Amino acid sequence: MGASLPPKEANLFKLIVKSYETKQYKKGLKAADAILKKFPDHGETLSMKGLTLNCMDRKSEAYELVRQGLKNDLKSHVCWHVFGLLYRSDREYREAIKCYRNALKIDPDNIEILRDLSLLQAQMRDLSGFVETRQQLLTLKPNHRMNWIGFSVAHHLNSNASKAVEILEAYEGTLEDDYPPENERCEHGEMLLYKISLLEECGLLESALEELRKKESKIVDKLEYKEQEVSLLVKLGRLEEGEVLYQALLSMNPDNYRYYEGLQKCVGLYSVNGQYSPDEIDRLDSLYKSLGQQYKWSSAVKRIPLDFLQGDKFRAAADNYIRPLLTKGVPSLFSDLSSLYNHPGKADILEQLILELEHSIRTSGQYPGRVEKEPPSTLMWTLFLLAQHYDRRGQYEVALSKIDEAIEHTPTVIDLYSVKSRILKHAGDFAAAAAFADEARCMDLADRYVNSECVKRMLQADQVALAEKTAVLFTKDGDQHNNLHDMQCMWYELASGESYFRQGDLGRALKKFLAVEKHYADITEDQFDFHSYCLRKMTLRTYVEMLKFQDRLHSHVYFEKAAAGAIRCYIKLHDSPPKSTTEEDDEMSKLLPSQKKKMRQKQRKAEARAKKEAEEKNEELNAGGASKSGKRHVKPVDPDPHGEKLLQVEDPLSEATKYLKLLQKNSPDSLETHLLAFECYTRRNKILLALQAVKRLLRLDAEHPDSHRCLIKLFHKVGSMNAPVTDGEKLIWSVLEAERSTISQLHEKSLVEANNAFLENHKDSLMHRAAFAEILSILDLNRKSEAVKLVEESTNNFVPSNGALGPIREWTLKDCIAVHKLLGTILHDQDAALRWKSRCAEYFPYSTHFEGSCSSVSPNSVYSQLSKNSEHESSNHSTGSQNAGPIKSNGKLDAFKDLTI
């Protein structure tokens, strides 16, 4: 480096490199300028100056200087290396790898460049290249531990675990007998556990167990040692030894569910699907009774039997489990029991049991068969549990009566208001749910969870501005709205994106959904620093797990929701493109002068409001943007706060396809993925890709209403197309004909016959009848009235159940809303839609969509009365100054000004 310079300038060049490494950029720039005064065309100095400027956020100058430096000295490995570093800082990893490879052609044994190249190869999963680079590093520096470990991990990632084991054994052969020293015992122990996991992966279980026991003294993590040992014993079929070890592990942690599962495997009483014979249930019952005697304080040993016990035994075990938790007042009891609702008959037993407990506590103040009196709070927690039980079963009126009684009993418990909010949400009254969530929030302004739950309810009620004000109470002072983005608060962005989509604001909705996608890109980038850190710190098993997690990162549910939301926005944008300026001017010219005046006034008010909001945000930034050192952290201003530029895409469907491909790759088992694929490809007239989506839908769930819709729509579209003319069209046609005969639903049937057969198989299901009706209206426009009649003739049957407090009906609120939209927007029968609305208002009295009698939109509802009372009180309390709205500031004394004791 700097070899072509005189000694004085060569020392200055070393100073530039040192200043860059120690982040003293101004000092480095000064040294670079001193060299360039004498040697203005020195390529390496120009490159290093560019790299320094890049760290000072002067990117355009940086690229210009580095390119100039490279042009002046193409044979310098430093210039190529610097160019690679520049690309790496901008996440242009493929370009950076090319630059590193060019640098290595000039200086093939440069360890720094090889190390940087290996990190990029690990990041980009160029595993064969990663193995080669790591081998070079090991050859150049065989006395460096990290090079041995890196070479082994590279082979493991490249699906060659046996070679990875050989490398680790070769490395151990270079160590002395008394290795490791005291300060390296943890790292060495981790390496040994990694080696044993590799042996296990290779299927060499005996060797792995032998190696584990041989190196026991050198493994520091004794718990991991025991868990690895018992895992190997079970896989080898040495169940008696495994049983002894699991008993030892349970004595260390009797609340670890995995240990109980392992113990069941050892005694031959484990079933993957949870189905057991009566004899196995008896044996399991006796096993857990004996364990219960040993670990009396363990909750797991009492909870696990509820999963396999049946009938009276289940009732007795549930009774013993529930009573102490009600007495203690555990709010999460229902969450603990909720998985039992998927077991046939257990929900009915739980209902009868809790009702008996409630009746006994009401009448005598004690549990049945007990002499001791229960504290008054036990009744409240019993009502709390019952309310959640009825909410789960869809009996919202009963649930609300129970939770109201609990609130009347003890009006100071926050959980009661949160659960009431949740019940109202399930019942379809989002405005009332948001109001009660806000009431819960105001009872404890320092509780972040309650605040977040309140924000979520507000977003579900489409109160976005209010939700945003509430959310930022828990962000740092200053640039609050950006903080929610910086904190990667994805649940908030998804909920607000869905709210904007419901309101038809596609720009803002897209902005929120794409922000979530950006977070996942950032998470992918965040792994970069761990490629060297984990090899240095020897956290090898966790490192490999992290890489596997990163490979399936985009299958996470939040990414699925964000990508699906973005695709829906682009589809809607394609179907209803925004009006151009000329179209808007044409529409304005058709209006009367008075109407034009009103429109312009509205536009001016909207612009003024937007300007005021922007000024307020700037004031917030100016007030809170200074740090303790006095330096101002200036963040770039968002040039497109409302997402208007995102709507200005030439081809929305091609943008949608980008996210669709990610979903198809990472979420192939989701129905929504293939439904969206069908919608995109039919709009783009990609018939074979649409057929592929339909076949995947049929593979996942052939009887699903949406699968049936897509299948018939596709072949109806094909049937209405012109006869094929070109060779390509004829080929597509022949593929469709061949595939049609393989689809059982259409085999030797017309589309009408297939639709009739579908109805015959699912005549009692509302959603299947709705799908049939929609397809009937598409196949024959003259039968639309018949389709409407078929939907209206659907009956809401009772679910077979022993519910102690009234019957439960089959239809869900979500399905009924979907049918209402079908009648109004697809079948275009507004009278039928009104009839359906009034019918569903009786089934769902709390639904605001159907304007039920008990919903917040009804003037006589409890919520409306509550709102009127609160408005009346606030007008009494106001002192002439404007109120700041319903949001109470977090931790401010004025929030308690009206509190009386």
For residue 90, give the CATH number of its domain: 1.25.40.10
User: Hey, is 798 helix, strand or coil?
Assistant: strand
| pLDDT tens digits for range 269-305 | 998 888 899 999 999 999 999 999 999 999 999 999 9
Q: Is 415 exposed, middle or buried (0-12, 13-18, 19+ CB in 10 A)?
A: middle
User: Hey, is 632 helix, strand or coil?
Assistant: strand
28 belongs to a structural domain: yes
Strand partners, 809: 798
| pLDDT tens digits for range 318-332 | 999 999 999 999 999
Cα dist from 132 to 42, 116, 127, whole Å: 33, 13, 9
**Cβ–Cβ < 8 Å for 847, 429:** yes
User: Hey, is 9 helix, strand or coil?
Assistant: helix
Confidence of residue 887 (pLDDT cuts 50, 70, 90): very low
Which helix (H) or strand (E) segment holds residue 316: the answer is: helix 311-328
Confidence of residue 514 (pLDDT cuts 50, 70, 90): very high
User: What's the length of the chain?
Assistant: 901
218 belongs to a structural domain: no
Q: Using the predicted structure, report yes or no on whether residue 475 has a pLDDT greater than 90.
A: no
Tokens, residue 484: 């929610």
| pLDDT tens digits for range 193-216 | 999 999 999 999 999 999 999 999
Closest CA to 819 of 802, 806, 808, 832: 832
User: Hey, is 141 helix, strand or coil?
Assistant: coil
Sign of CA dihedral 374, 377, 379, 385: negative
| pLDDT tens digits for range 307-356 | 999 999 999 999 999 999 999 999 999 999 999 999 988 999 999 999 99
Query: Per-residue pLDDT averaged across 621-643, rounded?
Result: 55
| pLDDT tens digits for range 838-865 | 999 999 999 999 998 888 887 766 566 5
26 belongs to a structural domain: yes
Confidence of residue 626 (pLDDT cuts 50, 70, 90): very low
Query: Per-residue pLDDT averaged across 462-467, rounded?
Result: 92
565 belongs to a structural domain: no
| pLDDT tens digits for range 366-407 | 999 888 899 999 999 999 999 999 999 989 999 999 999 999
Q: Is 331 exposed, middle or buried (0-12, 13-18, 19+ CB in 10 A)?
A: middle
Q: Is 826 exposed, middle or buried (0-12, 13-18, 19+ CB in 10 A)?
A: middle
118 belongs to a structural domain: yes
123 belongs to a structural domain: yes
**Cβ–Cβ < 8 Å for 233, 245:** yes
pLDDT of residue 180: 83
781-788 contact pairs (CB < 8 A, 24+): 784/827, 784/828, 784/829, 785/829, 787/827, 788/823, 788/827, 788/829, 788/832
User: Hey, is 253 helix, strand or coil?
Assistant: coil
542 belongs to a structural domain: no
User: Hey, is 234 helix, strand or coil?
Assistant: helix
Count of CA atoms in the C-beta half-sphere (13 A) of 453: 24
Closest CA to 822 of 750, 774, 754, 780: 774
% of the chain residues with pLDDT over 70: 88
| pLDDT tens digits for range 706-722 | 999 999 999 999 888 88
| pLDDT tens digits for range 410-455 | 999 999 999 999 999 999 999 999 999 999 999 999 999 999 999 9
| pLDDT tens digits for range 108-138 | 999 999 999 999 999 999 999 999 999 999 9
Q: Using the predicted structure, report yes or no on whether residue 83 has a pLDDT greater than 70.
A: yes
Residues in Cβ contact with 348 at an 8 Å cutoff, skipping those fewer than 6 apart: 801, 802, 803
- Side chain identity at 17, as an amino acid letter? V
Q: Which domain holds residue 133?
A: 7-156+168-173
pLDDT of residue 806: 63
DSSP 849-891: TTT-TTSTTSTTSHHHHHHHHHHHHHHHH--SSPP--SPPPTT
Which helix (H) or strand (E) segment holds residue 808: the answer is: strand 808-809
Sign of CA dihedral 275, 277, 281, 287: negative
pLDDT of residue 862: 59
Domain count for the chain, please give it. 1
Q: Using the predicted structure, report yes or no on whether residue 7 has a pLDDT greater than 50.
A: yes
232-235 contact pairs (CB < 8 A, 24+): 232/200, 232/205, 232/208, 233/209, 234/262, 234/265, 234/266, 235/200, 235/205
What does the mean pLDDT of the chain come to?
87
DSSP 352-379: HHHHHHHHHHHHHSS-TT--SPPPTHHH
Which of 9-13, 741-745, 798-802 bottoms out in mean pLDDT, i.e. has the lowest?
798-802
Q: Using the predicted structure, report yes or no on whether residue 26 has a pLDDT greater than 70.
A: yes
842 belongs to a structural domain: no
Query: Per-residue pLDDT averaged across 76-102, rounded?
Result: 92
User: Hey, is 460 helix, strand or coil?
Assistant: helix
pLDDT of residue 415: 95
**Cβ–Cβ < 8 Å for 856, 427:** no
Confidence of residue 163 (pLDDT cuts 50, 70, 90): very high
User: Hey, is 126 helix, strand or coil?
Assistant: coil
